[in-house]
Amino acid sequence: MPASGGTAKQLTEFGSRPACSPDGAYIAFQSNALTDVGISARNALPPSTLWVVPAAAGEPKQITRPGNPPLGGHGAPSWSRDGKRIVFESDEFNGSSIWSIPSIGGEPTRIIPNQGNAFDPIFAPDGKSIYFSRAGMWQIRIAPESGEPLGEPVRVPGASGPGPTALRYMSMSGNGKRMAYSALTQNSNIWSLAMSGDSVQAGAVPTPVTRDSNTRNNFPVFSPDGRRLAYTSWRTGAGADIWTMDPDGGNPVQLTTNPANDQIPSWFPAMDQIAFLSNRDQAPRIWAVGVASGRERLLLDPGHGLDYFCVSPDGEHVLFTREEGGVINIWLTTLGGGEPKQLTFDKDLAGFPCWSPDAKSFAFEVKRGEDTHIVVMPADGGSATQLTNDPGQSWCHSWSPDGDKILFAGFRNGYWNIWWVSRSSKQQKRLSDYKKLNAFVRYPAWSPSGNLIAYEYAESTGNIWTMDLR
């Protein structure tokens, strides 16, 4: 639409994160819809790709393909000042990298590898460097014609906000002399909700279990006897570690201290060990830590593309997601060794599985258009049953103790809340009643006794800042 206002004109039937070319003739965008704008929000998980459409209307042209770059979904495009290249973010579930590509399409060039989070890249005014967000604002020199990186990135002095903030969503002024960005703060903790059967206990209200000011506390999971909760705690400047605590937040114990990101805990049935995902040696693999001893060992290395996993309740099998050809699917392997078996063959996305209590089936999410839905499949593969069809997002994480209901974080009508869907009847029920646009819930876990649900609740706040470029 005209910058001064007027009638809007629809250019595409899909996409988000639009970016105008310097001459205003074209708009680059990502194919995936945007589902989150928080501190650690991924702009575009697989199979998102980049497209360009004429601003005067016309057919959009695809300029990246799934699987090239090899891992991640492509999003958050930004043009060079001469309009010849587009820089973008390639998102995996556990990290992101930065690439550039000719604006007419071609072979992408990697600028920043996936060594954590690298977000929202934009070109410097002279086209000789890239700004991006990664625990602050960073800049790296590049060769303007090829996009090849020159040297290592350096932190940009003076770019800041109040307190421990994350800098995101940068934008350059037209004359290239000023930059605007969001300085965001996130309050993320584990909360609980008392249950009576399949409903919230009369008079019960959500209660915080942790009260940290860390970047994030997430992935809660109950021990098989329900007496302990394992979770991931992300701390500013120290990455992520595995912790345990009582369900009411008492007796917290830190189990891992490695500088790498240790996350997504999964209990063994004997409760003597917790498996977790770690990017030690820059390679995501599955490790285990002794609950009492603290001893760590490499448990499993399923190979390339690993970004999510869960151990079966009997401790014999592992479900994990793997990205191949720009698409995420689910695989099964045994802890005793052997070749992994691919269980889903989806063309868009099938991932983030969670086991049923009897280990005979699992639930997972599939992507259909801009929405995600919950599906159930037998543990060894086979016919899948889709349980949800609602517009929005449905992200499962656990089951009810009786094995009938799948607990999930659901995005409906603009808000995130805790829901369940029944496997037998496909009935759905909302358990929480959050109505904040700047908040989300994630990873709800049902206790083995059925009397408690634990989950992550997070609120993001922030302001827009500007800085002069020298």
Which residue has tokens 């063994």?
Answer: 268
Q: What span, in angstroms and rounded, lies between the C-alpha atoms of 34 and 104?
A: 24
Do 127 and 207 fall within a single domain? Answer: no
Residues 208 and 142 in one domain: no
Q: What domain range includes position 127?
A: 16-157
| End-of-domain residue from the set 136, 157, 178 | 157
Residue 173 located in a structural domain: no
Q: What is the pLDDT of residue 161?
A: 66
Domain assignment of residue 198, yes or no = yes
103 and 45 in a single domain? The answer is: yes
In a domain, 170, yes or no: no
Question: Does 470 reside within a domain?
Answer: no
State the pLDDT at residue 237.
67
283: in domain? yes
Report the amino acid identity of residue 182. Answer: S
Looking at the structure, tell me whether residues 137 and 201 fall in a common domain: no
Is 285 among the domain residues?
A: yes
User: How many structural domains compose the chain?
Assistant: 2
Say whether both 210 and 142 belong to one domain: no
Please check whether residues 253 and 296 belong to one and the same domain.
yes
Predicted local confidence at residue 371, as pLDDT: 94
Residue tagged 């977790």 (tokens): 276
Whether the predicted model's global pTM rises above the 0.75 cut = yes
Residues 141 and 209 placed together within one structural domain of the fold: no
Torsion from C-alpha of 50, 414, 367, 440, nearest 10 degrees:
90
Mark 378-397 as b/e (b = at least 16 C-beta within 10 Å): ebeeeebeebbebebbbbbb
- Residues 241, 123: one domain? no
Q: In angstroms, rounded to a whole number, what is the distance separating the alpha carbons of residues 332 and 413?
A: 35
Residue where one domain finishes, among candidates 116, 137, 157: 157
Distance CA(398)–CA(163), nearest Å, equals: 35
322 lies in the same domain as 416: yes
Mean pLDDT of each 10-residue bin along the chain, 470 residues long: 90 95 96 83 89 94 94 94 95 91 95 86 94 91 93 87 78 90 92 97 96 88 98 85 97 95 96 95 91 95 88 96 92 88 96 97 96 96 95 97 98 96 97 95 97 96 90
Residue 416 within any structural domain of the chain: yes
State the CATH number of the domain containing residue 316. 2.120.10.30
CB contact burial 443-464 (16+ within 10 A = b; e otherwise): bbbbbeeeebbbbbbbebebee
Q: Does some domain include residue 180?
A: no
Q: What is the pLDDT of residue 158?
A: 77
Residues 145 and 244 in one domain: no
Let me know whether 314 and 434 are in one domain.
yes
Is the same domain home to 193 and 314?
Answer: yes
